[in-house]
Structures are given as structure tokens and as C-alpha cells.
Structure 1
Amino acid sequence: MKKMINRSLKITLVLFFCALSTFGQQAKPTYAIIPRPVKLIPASGTFQWSNSTKIILAENAQRLAPALNELRAISANLKKEKGPVNVVTLNLDASIENEGYTLSVDRNAIVINAASVQGAFWAVATLKQMMGAKIFQAKQVMRKTLFSSIVIPCVKIEDAPRFAWRGIHLDVSRHFFDLRYLRRMIDRMAYYKFNKFHLHLTDDQGWRIEIKKYPELTEKGAWRNMNDQDAECIARSKTNPDYAIPEKHFKVIDGKRMYGGFYTQDEMRGLIAYAYSKGIEIIPEIDMPGHMMAATNLMPWLTSHGKGGQAKDFSEPLCPCKETTFEFAENVFTEIAALFPSKYIHLGADEVEKSSWKNVPECEALMRKEGLKSVDELQSYFVRRMEKFFNTKGKKLIGWDEILDGGVSSTATMMYWRTWVPSAPKHAAEKGNDVIMTPGEFCYFDAQQDGGSLKKVYSFDPYQFNLTEKEKKFIIGIQGNIWTEYIPSERRLEYMVFPRMLAMAEVAWYKGGEDWTGFEQRVHKHFPLLDAMGVNYRLPDLDGFITQSVFVDKGILHINKPLAGLTIRYTTDGTLPTMQSKIFTEDLTVTRPVEFKVAAFRSNGNRGDVYTINYEQQNYLKPVELFTAQKGLNFSYYPKFYKTVNAIQETDLAKQNISAVIEIPVEKTADSFATRHKGYFYAAETGIYSFALRSDDGSVLKLGNRLLIDNDGLHPAVEKTAQIALEKGYHPFELLFIEGGGGYTLNLQYKAPSGQLKDVDSTLFFH
């Protein structure tokens, strides 16, 4: 993630000029605001907020009144002691961009100007961040010792969002989250200026919203027996209690213990109103025509073959060739349209098992009647017809990017997620469709985090898809998605979302990728705020070690602590570290094979990731003798889909050449493929060599005819590390890689015995 001449002088000058710039908050912890404001001018002095602070709504600003509740709540949690007489004023200014605001903090006055209530909400969110952890501590932790005042640094801010759509998506079908927790999610979204909450309310695993026309959808469809995903969570909970499935979501039905839950329409109205009071719009998704097993198991007549359950790759979809299907869909969406005030309804329309529509008499007849040439066009027929129905209810249709298959009207909004279809955003924008960017590579928060995940999200450029300036205007926003197959609890959800959500907030509001160091510093300043909010965020990685380490005579275990206030604890008996385990205070000398389990702990007892560090004793591996050695590696390319590198077949070989470096093909010849780099690695000196292999999807590194790193399988970008003891000379080398679609990540770094970790280069490889 991550020249020494006159370094101290350079740093001093940089910090000095940053303090003078309009973005001085990047170097000053006083203004650790996320997302970064468009313009910030530091000022001297502070404003002291107390119970004596007056909050005034200007005469012309009645439309901004909902924001007053947020301001008054701050004073309500302070001691009733006399403080300085000062004023907070909320003004309406129609000249300000929608959702924009100005914020002026002087010693005796705070003035907020906004053109909309949303802009006023975001100004309050900025104020709260400058107030620090006290506003949460006073409310939640320190009731008996409330603060009498809160100090806010003086500043002038002019701010407005980059995108109108700044969304968070939550799948409540795979695992259910109750209303109390959804309100907490909304609070945290508002704190970081997200304005769209996309609720994935139905899927194969459960139907979560009451439909009065079909009460069985929640009476029965909201409850299930334990499935394979639940079983995996239960297995993982043996070593990580955050995977435990909460007991509150179980119910005994007909003598069976079932998992589930749902929201009544009245409950959802309350949640919608709560979200609105925070400046957030809730967008419902009822996923059709696929992902409908929760309904089709109860109503099998909705499918082409009169049965629910699983089909070839996905579940049996609704049949788009029966009028009874549209009667059902329109009845459902009539209630959804009446319940949700949002102008958007999300139809889903992803991962549809279209093969179920082949050789069906009704579908063949419909295709002849409508002039449809393929089942892709049947999908388009369903989407277009539903969009017309949505329009009669005053709603706009959103669909996942599969709605492009077979054609789509220019009035639909596309949500782009399939990174292995990089042409989709441009294709949609060319046709005039609004696009919400949520590619899985950057925006899927259910993907396991590692040391590079936060920077990956921060680097996201929604315009990187070969878009013209005209086409960029159709990109209306971005969104982080949370799919919950393996996220059963609130603590696990928070661990997967935070701090990535902070990076997504900055990309959506300001821009990402420009100042990683400054952003990372601000994130570290927000950890105490997250602590005060009770968020179970993921701690920064421990580093300084190699997980598969070796030594010849002795080794040294060194661990870098990423944050002050953390305590590092370890075990050597195979058990997981606890608050009672040994504390790591200094480097440890290793003289025998041993396995360390290491973790960092926050002061509140929350544990970070557990790292397993194995030490193996080795002799230096002898090199092979090469009579001729030419630079480069033998490169092989296999344009097929594989789940593991062991599945690679030589009969699939499409291309061979000599590659100077480790790389994946630049030309796009297949969405899924495999590669092999084979030859010799040259060790320039005898000693311990370290390697770090990062890939999305799977990779395997073999060195000296040994399996050194196994990073195999279909997975998001993951890095694994290992060491090997090598004598100077040439050593057999092989690197296998599979790309399942979308990630296109393969990076190999190494550290020589007397060097630093860096990317491998052409000087190291021979054939």
C-alpha cells in the first residue's frame, strides 16, 4: 500500500504550505473531515458549544427546519451549565448548489447556509465530525459525567458533492438485520454524507417485506431451514464469534427451528421516515425475474416448468411468457410503489437462468409474436414491460447491468457491477442511460479485506471505463454493496464495511486517489470516533513479518504496530490470542520451528485479525546448473474458465511466448483465462528470500520445485507471503494464475537477503 536527501526539510516545507492552502485540514488533525470538503480555510480560535448556545432558524429557511433536530440533539446531551453566549444560525441560500452548503465557524457564531434540507444535513455532519468523539461519549458512555461543552475549531468551508447518488446497499435476504440496526446504519451513513440506502429485500433465501396481497410471502417465504451459507458461518464461528448467527432471528414454526424475519409495511414506513429525517432516501429492490426462490417455492406456477428450486446455474426464474407472472409482479410492485416515496424502484434482473425459457411452448409463441430472436431478448421484454408499469406509478426503473442483455430503453437506470464486462458503462451511456457505478472489484464490501483493501476503494475512478466527456455526464453516482451470504451478525457486518465505507464516501463526495497518505491519516483520526459509536471496524494490518518464515540458524520475529494504543498479543500453543495472552513488546528470537498466532487488541477488548506466522528451519537450497541462460520466462496462455490452477489443461493452450516480466495479458481475448510463467529465478546472493504474491483470482508460486505460496481458488484480491533459503544461482520457477472474471490482479514482490521488498523485474528471470 504504501530519497532520503533533505527529507526532514522537505516534510517541513510540505506541511507549511499545506497549512496555508485551502486544504490545510489534510495535514492538521483539527480538520480530519471525511469526506474531504471541496474548500476549507483554517482559522484561529474555537467555538464553545454549550447549553447556552442559541440555535436560530432564519425567517426564510423554514424548509431547512428538519436539520434543527440534529443541532438541538447536540445540546440535549450536554450538562445544563451556563456557558458562553453564542449563536448557531441556519440560513436558506438559493444560490448554493443542491446538497451543497457553506459553514462558517467563528469564536461567537456558527453560520450554515444551504439551498436544501439535504445540504443543511451535510453541514451538520461536518460539524459533528469537528466536535469529535465527545458527542457520542456523552450520549452512550458517560451519562453520569456529561460534558458541559464541546469545542469546535474555527474554519470556513464551501462544500458540495461530486455525485448526486452516494449509496450503500444492504442485502437483508441472505441474512436478516432488524429495524433497530438499520437505524444505526442510517445514522452512520448520514455521518459520512451518503444519501441513498438501497435495500435488497428479496432473494432466494428469504422475502423480507410484507405484501398484503400475498401474505404467504412473509408468513412462509421469510423463514428457512439452515442452508449451506449458514453452515459455513457456524463453522467459522468456532474461531471467530462474529460469525455466530444471532438467536433473535430464529423462530419455531410447526415444531421446526427456522431462521428469518421480515418488515411489516408499517415498520418500513417508520424506517423510511427515520431515513428522511437524516437526509437519506431508501430505494427498494425486489429482484425479478431471477433470484425468486423464496416466492417460487410457494408459487411454482410462476416458473416456466411449474417448479421452484435450483436450475442449471441459478434458481428457476419467473416465466416472462405467462400473463399470470405479470399479474403477480404488478400486484407486488403496486404495493411497493405506494409504500416507498423514492422515485426509484430496483428490479434487479441479474443472474437470470434464461436457459429455463428454452423449448417452452409459451415462450416460443411469445418470441414469434414479438419478433424476439433469443432468450436475452425475452429478458429485455420482461424488463421493458416492468419499466412501463413502474412509469404508470411515477417511478423510474433501476436494474443491474444484465438489463443491457437483449436491449434496454434509454429511460432505465443501470447499476454496473460486472467488472468482467468493462464495456457496459460506456454502452449504457452511449444509449443515454443513467449509470450508477458499483463494480465488484472496488465496491463489494462482502469481499474479504486485507492490507490493500482500503487503498483499493480509495483508488476507484468511476470514469475509468473509456468514457467521453459527454458520456461521463450519465454517471450519476457510486455505491458500496454489502451481500450477506457470509455476514450473519451486526459485528461481522461492521467489520466488513468499516473503514472501507469512509473511502467510498470520499470517492463519492470529493474524489479518491489523489492523496492516499492524507486520507489514511484522517482515517486514523476517525478510529476514536468509530470507537465512540461502538463500531466494530477492521484494524489496520500488522506487518513487518512473513507468514511462512524460515531460518537457517536463527530468525527474528518483528511486528510493526500500525496505531498507538494497540496491544499486540500472541500464543505459541495453537490457541487464538485473548486478552490474557502474552504481550509482544520487542523482537523475538526464533531458534526452533514454531507457530505464532498474533493479534492486536483495542483498549475496549476488540480483537483485530489473527495472523498465523510459521517458522520452518531450512538448509540453503542448492541451485541448478544452466549452460545457457536467456532472459525472460516461458509464458503460456489458456483462454478458459478454471476454478483452480490444478484444473489447467494443456489442451486449452492458445498462445506461448517469452515474457520479460510477470504480467497478465493486456489484450482482451477472454473474460476468464489462465496463465503460466515458467523458467528460473536468479538469486544474486545466498540467504533468505521473501516473496509476496497478490492475486484476484487464484495463483500458485513454485520455487526450487517446492510449493512456496498457495493463493489458489476464486477470490478477490488477496496477498500471501512466504520465505525460502536459497544458495546463489538459478532456481526453477513457476507461477500459475487463473482469472475467473473481473479482477485482473497479479503482482509478485520479493525481498533479497540484503534488500527491501519490491516488485520482481526482468533482471531476475531466465529460461
Structure 2
Amino acid sequence: MLRSLKLTVLAATMYSTTLMAQDADPQRYPLIPYPQELTAQQGEFVVGRNTNIVSAGAFANEVKQLQQLMTSFLGTKLPVTAKVGQSSILLVQDQSIKGEEEYQLDITPSRLTLRARTGAGIFRGIQTLTQLMPAGAEKMKTIAIPAATIKDHPVYDYRGMHLDVARHFFSVKYVKKFLDVMALYKMNKFHWHLTDDQGWRIEIKKYPLLTEQGAWRTFNNQDSVCIEKSKENPDMALDQEHIIQRTGKTLYGGFYTQAEIKEVIAYAAARHIEIIPEIDMPGHMMAAIKAYPFLTCDSENGWGKTFSTPICPCEETTFKFAEDVFTEIAALFPSKYIHLGADEVEKTSWAKSPACEAVMKANNLKSVEELQSYFVKRMEKFFNSKGKKLIGWDEILEGGVSPTAVVMYWRSWVPKAPIEAAKNGNRVIMTPGNPLYFDGIPGKNTISTVYHFNPIPKGLTTTEAANILGAQANIWTEWIPSEKRADYMYMPRMTALAEVLWTNKQRYDNYYQRLIVSFAQMDRLHVNYRLPDLEGFTGDNVFVDKGTLNVIKPLANMTVHYTLDGSVPSLQSPLLNGPLTITRPETIKLAAFSPAGIRGDIYTLNYRQQTYQKPVSGDGTQTGLKLSMFDGSFKTVAKIKATADTTVAVSNVEIPEQMGKGGKPFGAKLEGLIEVPATGIYSFYLTADDGAVLYIGGEEVVNNDGWHAPVQKSGQVALEKGLHPFLVSFVEGGGGYTLKLEYSVDGSKMQPVPDSWFKHK
């Protein structure tokens, strides 16, 4: 945006100089996250088999990591010596460097020197070296690393990724790969969600039934949906290694032994990643209750109004169970944190329990929310006795929270939560559902949205803002049944978050150029990342006489393959290497492929033949649209009730903030006329969270219905110049909402629909 402004000559010169100082050539220095200071230098440091590593012995782990890296490229291990040679890599412990993860890197044609005070700093510098090495240079005789001077440190101490292994299970091998990817991009906290309603994934020696029974299930409704979707997308198939036959039943599941847990912890520690375990309670405990029914207030195990039956916080047997479990957890995990969860608790059984009534009376508790707080505070004291700090989802604020608990903020529709927590003195980890729930389907704007996320909420003083530890992205796996699908969901958008949390400076265009180069690094790690979007079409396309499919590829080295028979495109399918003429109704499936064989999104394009829609008369119309608001919860637009609660005029497809705030569910209809200035094929792009449908002339143009995270869908309609009936129906299920309409005509650039096009009576 800044580059497009009309600057004075002096200002333009200053801006240009700043860019040159900050942003080195992204092809030569494709670093993510970008260093705090990088000065490009002439020449290269050439690593060959005559190169040695010089270290005083303070960084044995990091020397091992560096040797493994160089061996993977050169095919041989570099010697470690105490003497500097003609081609040396020096690892230097520098006590003048203050930060735990801070490092300095000086690369010249004759020497490479990496300085840090700690092993963590040296390791972060090695990851920078990894990204400077040509990813396709494995088993070469020499490797050229561009010369540079780098001074670097993170802005945020907490740079996290979360993985839910309870809904769908992931192998030890995959978790290690996940840690490798985190390490490459300097993420340092791994939040391991180990238990939930759908599965208990960690061995607890005192309660063996937790894994004997709780780790396995017959296919549930989520599995069934994934299996059905796998017919269209093979990545949605359940990983077969987690399916077994037992007593005549097909079961899905798995768990980690304590030996495997220790193995993963050691693997993470070598990469300076802290693993934070989550054992979610008092809610989300169906798998545990299945094995030990005494845990509930009434021995029931099922679903209440909204969530599953929780364990009972009013029986000492419950606390003994919890303390036994967390005693083993505390002994296994060296992390200073344990995550209690404490979210989405169905408290109906508590309200009906005589035992809870007695506990509430004895402790002067006035509500079931305060009863949950009683449970959380008691568990926090137990955690503290084990030398651990408690983390809980932001529901722990309800009913009161101790100032020493760490709050993990996720509920976007409760924006006051992190502000109140930080003002209360609680440390806060930001993980709002929008944009940091990476189980939400990614779209072409997703990476930009993550990159522009600000971890500091508005309304905090500088002192209060210091209570924001950092942020993390969450991968909930109800609809992520395979390792390939998990890769696709979090990469490459994790790289955007990595730069937000490490560098914390806005340089999106430069970042995106570096991202394109870094795909080769992801290929080296065998990551099934999401390719950038193909463009030049919509989901639903129309033509009058004939149409043309002219795909725009964002990466020159992509190939695009297509099918006409409904099958999933593969590398063996016909190659689309130019415009394709459409002369009849057709369904075309497209997919892009990277040089490494990574398949991008599967696009299903429907082509329909239309005549141009005739305009209507619009005498006496006013500018804008009529907005009708409907109080209530509606899962689809068809279920919006008949009578509006409020009706106002608005200038565009928008909902005024004061009408949609508060996080409550609602329905909305934006009605009127749209006046198109010329006859043509109009493409409309409707972005919604949750669901929306666009109708023009009574015809459905874009269907983006149902509750879901922000996603854009598109469609076309043939319109004659003039006025046409217009309607957008929208439903919000609760939380933060998104609603935006854009257009293009006859293949032009996508842009917002002008206010002047809308009329209403």
C-alpha cells in the first residue's frame, strides 16, 4: 500500500533506503522468519569435504545437529576440531549475547562464524543456515552459502503449535516430522493435546483401561464423514496403520507408551522445543469415563445440551484420579507447564448433584461456574506442588481465576477475555479461532490473514501487554484423518505465524516471495503443503455461446492436470497447458502439481449455459440495501425465521458492528437491487463465517452455506446492463463473523462491489 502513495522525493528516497537495508533479495536469502538484522555481503562461503567444525565443546547437541545437516547434503560427516582451518564453521559461545535464543551469524567467503550464549541460540542459527542452503543440493560435493551478517532474536518467547491426536491419531514418526518443521521455522512450543472425548492417547500405568479401552473406538460420525470425503479427496482417508481388528470389530485408534513419550520429548529437546501436555478435564472426558464410570456425578456418559458429560468435581475419588494421572504426567514431561484444558464443560449434571450442592454450600460457591473455578484452582495447587504452572483455555476466567494461572485465549467472540486476564496479571497465550485455528479450511487469503495477525489486543497498556507471552496455532483433527491432510492444513500458513512471532515486522510481499522459494525446503522434509491457489475461474461458471477456461498459475513450475469424467486428477491425467474452450455444459476437475509431485487443491468447475438475465425497472429506489436481522441460531440460511427483529438500511453487503457484536448467533438478509453497468459474465466471490448464499434475479449464484470458518466461494451469472433483484442471506453461529462480497467481470481483476451499484425500495 505504501509504495502506491504519492510520496515526496525525499520520503521516497528514505523509504527505498529502508527497504534495501531491511529486505535482501528473497531468492538469495529466502529466510522465514526474517532476521531482525540482515546485511547482504558479496561472495559465498563454500562448504566441502575439507570443511571442519570448530567448537569448544559447549554445544555438543548443536554440533551433532549441524553434522547431521551437512551429512544429509554432502553424504559425509564434517570433522570437529579445536583448530581453525582454511574452511571452518565456528560455533562460539559469547557471554555478551543476552537473549536465550539470540544469535549472530557472520558468513564470509573464508569463514562462517555462529555466535550465541546458549545452545538454543546456536540451534536457531543452524536453522537459518539450513534455509540458506540450496534445498536441492543433497549429495553434492560442495554447498555455497551466501555471505551475510545477521543479528537475530525473537520478539515473543512463546511461539507455539498445537496438535490434537485424540480425535485422529498420529504416529511417533509423524510427530517427529512435525517437530522438524517447527524447528526449521523457529517455533519453540509444542502443545500436545493427548486426550479428549474421542480417544485417550497416553499410557497411564495406574489406570491401564484408559488406553486399553479409551484409546480405541468403532468408527464414529467424524470417521464416517472423512471416509465419504475420501472418495473425492484421497487425503481424507483414515490412515490404515491406526485401524485394527479386535474381537470381530473394526477399531480405530492408538496410543503412546510412556517410553515413546520420552523418546519424543528427547527429540524435541534436542531441537529446543518444549512439549506442553494437555490432559483435558473436567470436560472432554468421555474416553476416560468409558473406562472408569465412577468419574461422573451420576455414572452417566454421553452428551448433554451442548457438550459431553464431565467428571464430577465434588467427589474425592475424582481428585484422586486426577492427581494420580497428573503425577505421572508431571514425572514424564520436563516442561514447566501442564495444560488442564477446562473448556466447554457441560455443567447440567453438576447442577443436579446432591454432592455438588454440598460442596458449593461448604465453600460458599454461588454458581456452577464458581464450582468449575474451584476445580481449576485445586488442580493448580496440585500442579504447583509438582513444580508446574497451569495453563487453561479462557473459560477458566469464568467464576474467578488465580493470577498465577496462564490463560490460553481462543474464543474470538469474547474479545474482552485476554484483556481482562492481562489486566488481572495473568500471563496470556493468544490463539483466537480466527485466524489461528488451522483446522479451518484454508483459502487464498488465509496466509495473508495469519501474517497480519497482531498478538497484542487493543486496550492494553505497555505494562499489561507484557503479559502476552506470544501465540500459537491449533490443529483440531475431527476432520483431519491423515498425516497428509494434517500437513496440508498447517503448511504453509504456519510460516506466516512464525514470522509474526519471531520478527514481528510487516513485509508481506517480501515474505511471500521468500515463501515461494522455501517450498523446496518443505519438499526436502516431505511436507504435503498446500499449493497456492489457481485462478482464472469460479466454482460455478456460466457461458452464453461458448466459454474459455484459462487457468492462471501462481508458480511457473506448476503443472495443471484435469479430468472430465469426475475422477480425481493425477499426474497421468491430461495436461492443461493452454486455454480450454467450453461449448456445452461440463464438469471439469482440476489440480495443480509441484515438481516434487505435491498435489494442490482439487477444483470442481461446473459450466452451465445461460442467456443474459433481463433487467427489471427500479423507479423510486434509494441507494444501498435493506438489512433485516433475525435473533436466534440458524444452521443454514433456509432455517432463518420468517419475521425480522430489526430492519435498517446499509450501503453495501455489510453488517454494522453494533448489530453483530456480542458473539451471539443470528441470521441476516441483505435485499435490494444490483445495477450492473454493462452486459457481461459477472463473477462473484462471497467470503463468509459462518454461512451465506448469494441470489441474483432469484437464481442462486454462490452457495457458501452452513457453519464454518472464514472461506471464500464463487460463482457466475450472465447479466444484461441494468437493475437485477439481489439477496444475500447470512447465518452466524456465534463468535466473530466475516461477510464480504467481491466481483469481477469477463475475467477482470477481483474487486469490491461499489456502493453505487446497490439500490433498495
Q: Same fold (TM over 0.5)?
A: yes
Provide the residue aligned with 1:143 in structure 2. Answer: none
- How is 1:12-161 mapped onto 2 (pairs within 5 angstroms)? 17=17, 20-21=20-21, 23-25=22-24, 27-58=25-56, 62=58, 64-77=59-72, 78-79=74-75, 85-96=86-97, 97-134=99-136, 138=138, 146-161=139-154
Provide the residue aligned with 1:741 in structure 2. Answer: 734
Change (3 A) 1:421 1:436: same
Q: Distance in 2 between matches of 1:205 and 1:295?
A: 10
Counterpart of 2:104, as a letter, is T
Provide the residue aligned with 2:515 in structure 1. Answer: 523
Provide the residue aligned with 2:82 in structure 1. Answer: none
Question: Which shows bigger deviation, 731-740 or 595-604?
Answer: 595-604
Q: Secondary structure at the match of 2:266?
A: helix
Counterpart of 1:74, as a letter, is L
Change (3 A) 1:752 1:19: closer
Q: Distance in 1 between matches of 2:328 and 2:695?
A: 58
Q: Shift of residue 82 of structure 1?
A: 11
Q: Distance in 1 between matches of 2:733 and 2:168?
A: 26
Deviation per CA, 1:426-460: give whole Å up to 9, x if none: 01101110000111111111111111111111111
2:280 pairs, out of 273, 287, 291, with 287
Q: Shift of residue 422 of structure 1?
A: 0.9
Provide the residue aligned with 1:729 in structure 2. Answer: 722
Change (3 A) 1:201 1:633: same
Deviation per CA, 1:88-145: give whole Å up to 9, x if none: 11222233222111111111211111122111110010011101214xx63xxxxxxx
Q: Would you say the 8 A contact 1:314–1:351 is kept in 2?
A: yes
Q: Would you say the 8 A contact 1:204–1:315 is kept in 2?
A: yes
Q: Shift of residue 492 of structure 1?
A: 1.0
Work out whether 1:758 is the aligned partner of 2:724. Answer: no
Question: Which shows bigger deviation, 47-56 or 459-468?
Answer: 459-468
Q: Shift of residue 589 of structure 1?
A: 2.4
Provide the residue aligned with 2:534 in structure 1. Answer: 542
Q: Would you say the 8 A contact 1:462–1:478 is kept in 2?
A: yes
Provide the residue aligned with 2:571 in structure 1. Answer: 579
Provide the residue aligned with 1:494 in structure 2. Answer: 487
- Could you say what the CA RMSD is over the residues aligned between the two structures, in angstroms? 2.4
Question: Which shows bigger deviation, 677-686 or 66-75?
Answer: 66-75
Deviation per CA, 1:52-91: give whole Å up to 9, x if none: 2121223xx62x3321111122343425599983111122
Provide the residue aligned with 1:658 in structure 2. Answer: 649
- How is 1:416-455 mapped onto 2 (pairs within 5 angstroms)? 416-455=409-448
Q: Secondary structure at the match of 2:622?
A: coil
What number of residue pairs does the alignment pair up? 749
1:208 pairs, out of 201, 208, 219, with 201
Q: Distance in 1 between matches of 2:747 and 2:204?
A: 67
1:189 pairs, out of 174, 182, 198, with 182
1:459 pairs, out of 452, 462, 468, with 452
Q: Would you say the 8 A contact 1:696–1:714 is kept in 2?
A: yes
Q: Distance in 2 between matches of 1:751 and 1:2?
A: 25
Q: Would you say the 8 A contact 1:49–1:149 is kept in 2?
A: yes
Provide the residue aligned with 1:226 in structure 2. Answer: 219
Deviation per CA, 1:121-176: give whole Å up to 9, x if none: 10010011101214xx63xxxxxxx2122111110111110111111111111111
Q: Distance in 1 between matches of 2:743 and 2:205?
A: 61
Q: Distance in 2 between matches of 1:16 and 1:766?
A: 44
Q: Distance in 2 between matches of 1:5 and 1:301?
A: 67
Q: Distance in 1 between matches of 2:538 and 2:265?
A: 48
- How is 1:201-350 mapped onto 2 (pairs within 5 angstroms)? 201-350=194-343
Change (3 A) 1:637 1:151: same
- How is 1:587-606 mapped onto 2 (pairs within 5 angstroms)? 587-606=579-598
Q: Secondary structure at the match of 2:301?
A: coil
Provide the residue aligned with 2:550 in structure 1. Answer: 558
Structure 1: which 5+ runs fail to align? 139-145
Provide the residue aligned with 1:622 in structure 2. Answer: 614
Q: Would you say the 8 A contact 1:412–1:433 is kept in 2?
A: yes
Q: Distance in 2 between matches of 1:254 and 1:583?
A: 48
Q: Distance in 2 between matches of 1:737 and 1:2?
A: 34
Change (3 A) 1:372 1:628: same
Counterpart of 2:66, as a letter, is L
Q: Would you say the 8 A contact 1:635–1:658 is kept in 2?
A: yes
Q: Secondary structure at the match of 1:455?
A: helix
Counterpart of 2:427, as a letter, is D
Q: Distance in 1 between matches of 2:127 and 2:240?
A: 34
Q: Secondary structure at the match of 1:488?
A: coil
Change (3 A) 1:427 1:99: same
Q: Secondary structure at the match of 2:531?
A: coil
Q: Distance in 2 between matches of 1:228 and 1:199?
A: 24
Deviation per CA, 1:349-408: give whole Å up to 9, x if none: 011111221121111111111111111111100000000000000000000111111110
Q: Shift of residue 669 of structure 1?
A: 4.8
Q: Would you say the 8 A contact 1:297–1:307 is kept in 2?
A: no
Q: Would you say the 8 A contact 2:70–2:77 is kept in 1?
A: no
Q: Distance in 2 between matches of 1:417 and 1:299?
A: 30
Deviation per CA, 1:254-277: give whole Å up to 9, x if none: 332322111111221121111111
Question: Which shows bigger deviation, 463-472 or 445-454?
Answer: 463-472
Q: Secondary structure at the match of 2:28?
A: helix
Q: Distance in 2 between matches of 1:734 and 1:3?
A: 37
Deviation per CA, 1:434-491: give whole Å up to 9, x if none: 0001111111111111111111111111113432222211100111111111112111
Q: Distance in 1 between matches of 2:559 and 2:234?
A: 20
Q: Distance in 2 between matches of 1:474 and 1:711?
A: 38
Work out whether 1:469 is the aligned partner of 2:462. Answer: yes
- Fraction of identical pairs, as percent: 49
Provide the residue aligned with 2:605 in structure 1. Answer: 613
Change (3 A) 1:185 1:368: same
Q: Distance in 1 between matches of 2:330 and 2:150?
A: 39
Q: Would you say the 8 A contact 1:197–1:283 is kept in 2?
A: yes
Q: Distance in 2 between matches of 1:109 and 1:503?
A: 32
Counterpart of 2:105, as a letter, is L
Q: Secondary structure at the match of 2:373?
A: helix
Q: Shift of residue 230 of structure 1?
A: 1.0
Q: Shift of residue 244 of structure 1?
A: 1.7
Q: Would you say the 8 A contact 2:71–2:77 is kept in 1?
A: no
Question: Which shows bigger deviation, 231-240 or 343-352?
Answer: 231-240
Q: Shift of residue 283 of structure 1?
A: 0.7
Q: Distance in 2 between matches of 1:5 and 1:120?
A: 41
Work out whether 1:705 is the aligned partner of 2:698. Answer: yes
Q: Distance in 1 between matches of 2:366 and 2:741?
A: 46
Q: Shift of residue 758 of structure 1?
A: 1.3
Change (3 A) 1:724 1:13: farther
Q: Secondary structure at the match of 2:601?
A: coil
Q: Would you say the 8 A contact 1:211–1:332 is kept in 2?
A: yes
Q: Distance in 2 between matches of 1:13 and 1:562?
A: 31
Provide the residue aligned with 1:142 in structure 2. Answer: none
Q: Would you say the 8 A contact 1:50–1:75 is kept in 2?
A: no
Structure 2: which 5+ runs fail to align? 80-84
